[in-house]
Chains A and B, each alone.
Chain A
Amino acid sequence: MSILRRVIPIALICGASITPAAEPRVFNEFEMKAAFLFNFAKFVEWPGEKGAQGTPIVLAILGPNPFGVHLTNLVKGRRINGREIQVRQLDSLDSARGAHVLFVTKGARKTAEEVSAALGGAGVLTVGEPTAFSEVGGIITFHLEADRLSFEIDMGEAERAGLSISAQLQKLASAVRRR
């Protein structure tokens, strides 16, 4: 018994003092998706004034926020090409045209066609989840295969939106489509 009493506190104290090392673990889905969104923004060039230095990059969420604090915590203090990052929660599609990246949650109850029609050519990188948003109109679609996240890119839709997506991102996608 005395062994256990000694071991547990020691284990915990030792644990807290050890240097972090990246060992693949199991993560919350939206903690992961937040990190993906941040990374997508690094590989996209926006047209016109959206690409202007000195202005913030806006990550917008349409529908009930599934991220909790994960997305805001993640972008805090981080910059992409020297540009600040802002997270915005949107009430409707109408306010989405100013966003750089728009994450359309399952709960948004918007069809792909509606989103595409509302944002056509506005230079918004739309990112969706398969249930509510996948076959047409979504530029990037998340997939959960077994317990790993992957994404596919619709290059046709990206071009219609006026976005240029780097080859590196296309290489990492599970599929690149052109519709």
Chain B
Amino acid sequence: MRLRTIPAIAAALVAALLAAPAAAQVAPDLGELSLDQLLTLRVDTVFGASRYEQKLTRAPASVTIVTREEIRRYGYRTLADVLRSVRGIYVGDDRNYSQIGVRGFARPGDFNTRVLLLMDGHRLNENIYSSALIGREGFLDVDLIERVEVIRGPSSSIYGSSAFFGVINVVTRQGGAVSGVEASASAGSFGSYEGRATFGRKLASGVELLASGTAYESDGQRRLYYPEFDTPRTNNGVAVDSDGESSRSFLGRVGYKGFTLTGGYSVREKTVPTAAYGAVFNDGNLVTTNEKALAELSYFRALSARTRFTARAYFDHDAYQADVSRGLTRPPAPPMALAVHVDNRGDTAGAEAQVTTELSGGHTLVYGGEYRQDLLIRQKTTTGQPFPSLNQTENEGRSIGLYTQGEVALLPRLLLNAGARYDHHDVFGSTLSPRIGLIWGPAPGTALKALYGRAYRAPNAYELYLDAPGSRRANPSLQPETVDTYELVAEQELPAGLRVAASAYVYDVDDLISHTRDGAGILMFENVDSVRARGFELELDGAWAWGFLFRASWAIQRTEDGRTRAELDNSPRHLFKLNASLPVYRDLVHAGLEAQLGSGVETRAGNQTSPSFLVNTTLRGKTPLRNLEWSVSLYNLLDDAYAQPGSTNHVQDEIPQDGRSFRVKAAYRF
């Protein structure tokens, strides 16, 4: 797309912002609703910011919520789709994993290690690379999501490691909310098919059940052209039939009297067409597999009307496998390949407990602790002929965390939210992560927040321990990365369901773990880099009872290297987003439009990608009895050719993203 279209789109967004209040005159009249109808309505709250339900305006962070209704109305297929719509967040896909960029930070090649992903408070980042997986490789089917809370900024003060640039807390649907059997099926471009069956019920005895399974298969793009490989020996740069994907996931839950037992399993297998990791191009043999299994027992008890106790014990198993046939020779030499098999595994068990107390006068106090043990982290690589080898490291790790947070009403309209978490990891020692926020509500519906926070990311097992004689050295003396953040947030509720939010921030990242080479040219990781990110974000959103949903945002950011002041790779200067959905036939058929505009970014080679302009539309309908729900979605309607930068794993400097595609979906409730 051309650059001069940006002002036109910006003008359209502004026009939309200005026009929206006119449409808002049809406000909900809650006075017409009966009590039992009122009991079904939902209040704007967030859990993940402080580990208890609190009003958005009281949260010590800038928060965006995406609801289940929005997921359906905009035809989101994965968590990556959900996050792409959120203010200031950008998501890329290297045809293997999806990558989240937050606050202008997304280093090509590292996968979401500085964002903490939670499912109902359960940490989903795996323990080998500490990645939060958000595409099909992720754990959860989006159809099981009740809402997604995107909490910007540091939350290590309550969650510990990885809650660095933000926390994504996914709240899942309860069995009682499903209340029956649901089945859904979808088909889309690139030979993609998905099916899901879900059962959920709350029995009269108080037992709540949920069981759901999802299967997904996709052929992927039949032909992908990469000019970097355009030689006769490498099929003139065309990767044929090597973009397939297959995933399965299962989630089950039983709840009774405060106890909830959750179990889940997911596996995703992806054929990677990009010849990443030095693979032979177009041999269809580069396949990665991600697997996760988890079990959790949680307990909730109201100790008194003001004090709640929650606890959980969990076990997580993650596995990563990759088959790469690595090219050893360059043309014109005869081709020779080395089969490399990576078989990594991480098992973690842990327990945590928390007490939340509400004191008279509007104060809330939270305190808790967590013990976490990495039972086994295995990184194993084997190679075949002509250089057979076995390289394996096995490690363990332990950490303990203690945290407290208080929300204190200093004055009737002035809240102090302060907290800190102390963590001790047996690898690198102790960290202290404070967060402090002053939240002033000069009038009902207005919140002004001044926030400071410090967060850390523990070095992961891959950075600490991976050792390959002759090419890579372990560095067990790595220290955590840290970030100090300063942010001002203003939120104002406007009449008729509108809300405007603005945020300005400065983030200083220190001791960033980066690839370096030692004297002998061997790759290793060291705490060497620093980064300063600055930005401003503005958002307007609204929801009206007659069915109109609306969200528009603009983020401007600059993220630069602390020493050289050079702008970072893969850091778009501007991000514009618009989401609008409205009923087109009673409350039965809704049309959703989504527009996302991002500046071009710098690539590793110093080139500039072209700006991206994505438009997605979804038409979603229900039958009058609401048993059947259908949707038709068109993604990248304008067939914009946009790309994300390649990483050091790629020969490509830019990885083109998908063009226009579609999906049709139907869900039936029995």
Contact = CB atoms under 8 A, between A and B. Distances in A.
A62 B77 CA distance: 48
Interface string B54-71: 010000000001010100
Q: Which secondary structure dominates where chain A touches chain B?
A: mixed
B44 A4 contact: no
Contacts of A27: 28, 30, 41-44, 497
Interface stretch (B178-186, B192-200, B279-287, B358-366): B358-366
B15 to A, nearest CB: 7
A74 B31 contact: yes
Interface stretch (B111-119, B220-228, B233-241, B585-593): B585-593
B43 A12 contact: no
B22 A26 contact: no
B206 interface: no
In the complex, which of the residues A18, A21, A26, A145 has the most CB atoms of chain B within 10 Å of its own CB atom? A26
Interface stretch (B32-40, B242-250, B321-329, B459-467): B32-40
Nearest to B409: A107
Interface in A1-35: 1, 3-5, 7-9, 11-12, 14-16, 18-32, 34-35
A22 B545 contact: yes
B543 interface: yes
B355 to A, nearest CB: 15
Given A21-B547, A28-B445, A149-B43, A5 B8 contact: yes
Q: Which secondary structure dominates where chain B touches chain A?
A: mixed
A1 B39 contact: no
Contact of A26 (B42, B546, B584): B42
A90 interface: no
Contacts of A91: none
A144 interface: yes
A28 B30 CA distance: 11
Given A3-B615, A20-B26, A75 B31 contact: yes
A23 B546 contact: yes
A27 B35 CA distance: 15
B53 interface: yes
A158 to B, nearest CB: 17
B566 interface: no
A22 B544 CA distance: 9
Contact of B30 (A3, A15, A20, A74): A74
B304 interface: yes
Contacts of A65: 444
B306 interface: yes
A71 to B, nearest CB: 10
Interface string A27-46: 11111101110110001000
Contacts of A39: 34-35, 38
A164 interface: no
B31 A24 contact: no
B23 A109 contact: no
B338 interface: no
B625 interface: no
A4 to B, nearest CB: 5
B584 A14 contact: yes
A28 B494 CA distance: 11
A37 B152 CA distance: 35
Contacts of B546: 18-23
A135 interface: yes
B263 interface: no
A47 interface: no
Interface in A42-66: 43, 63-66
A169 interface: yes
Given A27-B30, A35-B38, A78-B31, A12 B445 contact: no
Contacts of A69: 495
Chain A residues touching B, range: 35 or more
Contacts of A7: 593
Interface in B117-156: 147
Interface stretch (A94-102, A117-125, A126-134): A126-134
A26 B26 contact: no
B413 A64 contact: yes
B203 interface: no
A146 interface: yes
In the complex, which of the residues A8, A30, A43, A64 has the most CB atoms of chain B within 10 Å of its own CB atom? A8
Nearest to B8: A1
B176 to A, nearest CB: 11
Contacts of B33: 22, 35
A104 to B, nearest CB: 11
Contacts of B528: none
Contacts of A24: 40-42, 69
Contact of B41 (A1, A25, A38): A25
Contacts of B637: 3
B161 to A, nearest CB: 27
Contact of A148 (B19, B42, B409): B42
Interface in B509-550: 543-549
B444 A66 contact: yes
Interface string B305-330: 11000000000000000000000000
Interface of B: 5, 8-9, 12, 15-16, 19-20, 22-23, 25-26, 28, 30-31, 33-45, 47, 53, 55, 65, 67, 69, 147, 171, 304-306, 358-364, 409, 412-413, 443-445, 493, 495, 497, 543-549, 578, 580, 582-584, 586-587, 591, 593, 595, 615, 637-638
> 3 closest A-B pairs (Cβ-Cβ)?
A21-B587, A20-B546, A35-B30
Given A64-B412, A148-B41, 14 more contacts: A4-B595, A8-B19, A20-B545, A21-B546, A23-B69, A26-B65, A34-B30, A35-B31, A35-B33, A74-B31, A130-B358, A147-B147, A149-B39, A149-B41
